[in-house]
């Protein structure tokens, strides 16, 4: 690959006590956010054993709820608490957008994602071994419990993060970003339980007002555009619309690639007026992928 795409000059720097945890409740499950930055070791269950200096106050135990699992597409083990990580990614993106000038939080997460990308692009084992990063992700997740509506939002947040990856000057970023997206989507799948042998299903059709109840009725996913991508008080420009369609297309192709069962509730009537459903139909036509008509909607 060309050059060194993403620099992590000091990954352990994340562990050097400089990390800040804005908005972390002081009475969170993780205790004072600054207390463990200096180190400590975590056992396989994610229990933090304090270092010597910390052991003077041995009453505190930090649990970061790790749930190691295997990402199906590349067999890489990601040793992070999956739900927490996802929420953290989404939160990072949200914070990044709201306050770019004070984005130390999101920059750190972006760096982690960039490293995932780098490791993927080079077929390296993907790990999140850095203690502070793990703690950081978990703490971030603690802060946002209840804020994430569903995994579609998380997925869209990942798109946003990937978009930023592409602007970071990483030589191999586009390819790496694809890999990251796979990982992120797999994480979302697993978080939803579809990776546990349950049938993977999605619903497509014209009009989200029809698709959403249909998907809920069969316990399937549906494409949900993230509202933050909508311009305020106006419709999307052609460029924005194309980007939105590209996201939709990417989502559907990804599901096809993973062998999802696709329910199709079809057009609302005799005319297809939605460019998004038209796009989905075209992808289905082009790939010849089978869909199952879902009646009643």
Q: Which of 147, 143, 144 is nearest to 27 (CA)?
A: 143
Residues 205-244 as x/- pattern, contact with another protein by CB under 8 A: xxxxxx--------------x-xx-x-xxxxx----x--x
Nearer to another protein among residue 66 and residue 160 (C-beta): 160
Q: Does the protein bind another protein through residue 258 (CB under 8 A)?
A: no
DSSP assignment of 249-265 equals HHHHHHHHHTT-EEEE-
Give the span between the Cα atoms of 288 and 20, in whole angstroms: 50
Alpha-carbon torsion (149, 155, 156, 161), positive or negative: positive
Nearer to another protein, 30 or 297 (CB): 297
Nearer to another protein, 168 or 256 (CB): 256
User: Residue 74: CB partners within 8 Å, gap ≥ 6?
Assistant: 120, 126, 179, 182, 183
Q: Which of 157, 265, 279, 280 binds another protein (CB under 8 A)?
A: 265
Measured distance CA(181)–CA(260) in Å, rounded: 17
* Position 196 contacts another protein (CB under 8 A): no
Nearest distance from C-beta of residue 279 to another protein, angstroms? 11
Q: Does 297 bind another protein (CB under 8 A)?
A: yes
Rounded to whole angstroms, how far apart are CA atoms 137 and 296? 42
Of 173 and 214, nearer to another protein (C-beta) is: 214
Closest by CA position to 194, among listed 147, 128, 260: 260
Q: Does 144 bind another protein (CB under 8 A)?
A: no
Q: Which is nearer to another protein, 67 or 97 (CB)?
A: 97
Nearer to another protein among residue 3 and residue 293 (C-beta): 293
Q: Residue 276 Cβ, how far from another protein at the closest point, in Å?
A: 6
Q: By CB under 8 A, is residue 78 in contact with another protein?
A: no
- Give me the least distance between CB of 253 and another protein, in Å please: 15
Rounded alpha-carbon distances, angstroms, from residue 44 to 48, 122, 154, 257: 10, 27, 27, 33
Question: Residue 220: which of 199, 202, 193 has the closest Cα?
Answer: 202
- Residue 89 and residue 141 in contact, taking contact as beta carbons nearer than 8 Å: no
32 binding another protein? (CB under 8 A): no
Does position 288 interact with another protein (CB under 8 A)? The reply is: yes
Residues near another protein, by CB under 8 A: 205-210, 225, 227-228, 230, 232-236, 241, 244, 264-276, 284-285, 288-297
């Amino acid at each position: 690959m060309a050059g060194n795409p993403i620099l992590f000059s000091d990954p352990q720097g994340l562990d050097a006590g400089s990390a800040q945890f804005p908005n972390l409740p002081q009475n969170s499950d993780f205790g004072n956010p600054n207390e463990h930055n200096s180190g400590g070791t975590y056992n396989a269950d994610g229990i933090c054993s304090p270092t010597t200096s910390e052991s003077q106050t041995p009453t505190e135990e930090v649990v970061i709820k790790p749930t190691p699992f295997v990402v199906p597409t590349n067999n890489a083990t990601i040793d992070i608490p999956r739900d927490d990580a996802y929420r953290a990614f989404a939160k990072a993106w949200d914070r990044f957008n709201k306050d770019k000038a004070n984005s130390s939080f999101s920059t750190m997460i972006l760096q982690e994602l960039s490293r995932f990308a780098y490791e993927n692009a080079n077929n390296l084992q993907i790990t999140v071994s850095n203690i502070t990063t793990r703690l950081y992700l978990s703490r971030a997740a603690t802060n946002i419990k209840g804020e994430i509506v569903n995994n579609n939002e998380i997925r869209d947040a990942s798109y946003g993060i990937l978009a930023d990856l592409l602007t970071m000057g990483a030589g191999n970023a586009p390819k790496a970003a694809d890999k990251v997206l796979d990982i992120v989507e797999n994480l979302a799948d697993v978080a939803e339980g579809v990776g546990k042998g349950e049938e993977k299903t999605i619903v497509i059709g014209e009009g989200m007002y029809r698709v959403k109840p249909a998907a809920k009725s069969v316990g399937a996913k549906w494409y949900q555009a993230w509202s933050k991508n909508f311009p305020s008080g106006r419709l999307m420009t052609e460029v924005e619309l194309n980007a939105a369609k590209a996201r939709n297309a990417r989502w559907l192709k990804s599901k096809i690639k993973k062998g999802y069962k696709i329910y199709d509730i079809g057009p609302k009537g005799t005319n297809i007026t939605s460019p998004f459903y038209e796009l989905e139909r075209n992808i289905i036509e082009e790939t010849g992928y089978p869909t199952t008509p879902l009646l009643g909607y």
